Amino acid sequence: MIHTAAIVGLLIGLIRKGSLYNLAEHKIRLVPVLVMSFACELMVMSGLLHVMIESDDLYITLRLLVSALQYVLVLIFLIVNALKITRTYAKYSLYSIAVGSILNAAVILSNLGRMPVSTLIIEHIPWLSGAPLDRLMSAPHYILANENTRLVLLGDCIPFWSFGWYMVSPGDFLISAGLIMFAYWLTQNPHKLKPKNLEHKQDIVYTNGR
């Protein structure tokens, strides 16, 4: 869903006479911080962290810490860039992604570094039952929701179709909405987005004609 949202935003931007060349024109800050966040996510998703740690107790603790670090890093990246961006919709697109990330972080950290998946997946996505469901649940960053699951309504509990059916979280919707707007903004020429100052004869400066 999140990847699809980014593609949709880019396509809308291109339709509205944007360009992929403009992606390099925007000044995005703290990119290494975002890369480190992705690295933390990859360590958990790939199971690399589990391979490195033999003790189950230590692995659970480190999985929780790495997951927390992932979201701290991504929030720093989002907030710093949101404060620097002047275009209103682009600024609030990052705030939307940040709120969605906070919701996902809350449920993941409440469940020891794993995203709970609602049992509705069995009812609404029957072809995922059996072996495919077993493979999904064996992923180190997912857990099938049960009576002990915390904040289950913030987990992957909403059936959603995007080139196939799967479950998404409420936070994913906010992240996706933000990504559509942000990806659209990236395709626009940043030089044309800057406000123009108009000089008045009496030394009064108007911005955007106001």
pTM of the model: 0.84
Say what angle helices 56-84 and 31-45 make with each other, to 10 degrees. Answer: 150
Q: What is the mean pLDDT of residues 157-179?
A: 88
**Contact status, residue 81 vs residue 28, Cβ threshold 8 Å:** yes
Cα 135 off chain centre by? 24
Token pair recorded at residue 116 = 């709970």
The proportion of the chain whose per-residue pLDDT surpasses 90, expressed as a percent, equals: 53
Residue 77 three-state SS: helix
**Angle at CA of residue 81, ends 75 and 83, nearest 5°:** 100
**Angle at CA of residue 191, ends 85 and 5, nearest 5°:** 55
Q: What pLDDT score was predicted for residue 71?
A: 97
Q: What pLDDT score was predicted for residue 210?
A: 47
pLDDT higher than 70, residue 158: yes
Token pair recorded at residue 157 = 């509990």
- What is the dihedral sign for C-alpha 85, 91, 97, 100? positive
pLDDT higher than 90, residue 47: no
54 DSSP β-pair partners: none
Which pLDDT tens digit goes with each residue over 2-17? 889 999 999 999 999 8
Task: List the domain range (segments joined by +) for residue 49.
Answer: 2-207
Which pLDDT tens digit goes with each residue over 97-145? 999 999 999 999 999 999 998 887 777 666 665 555 666 767 888 988 8
Domains in the chain, number: 1
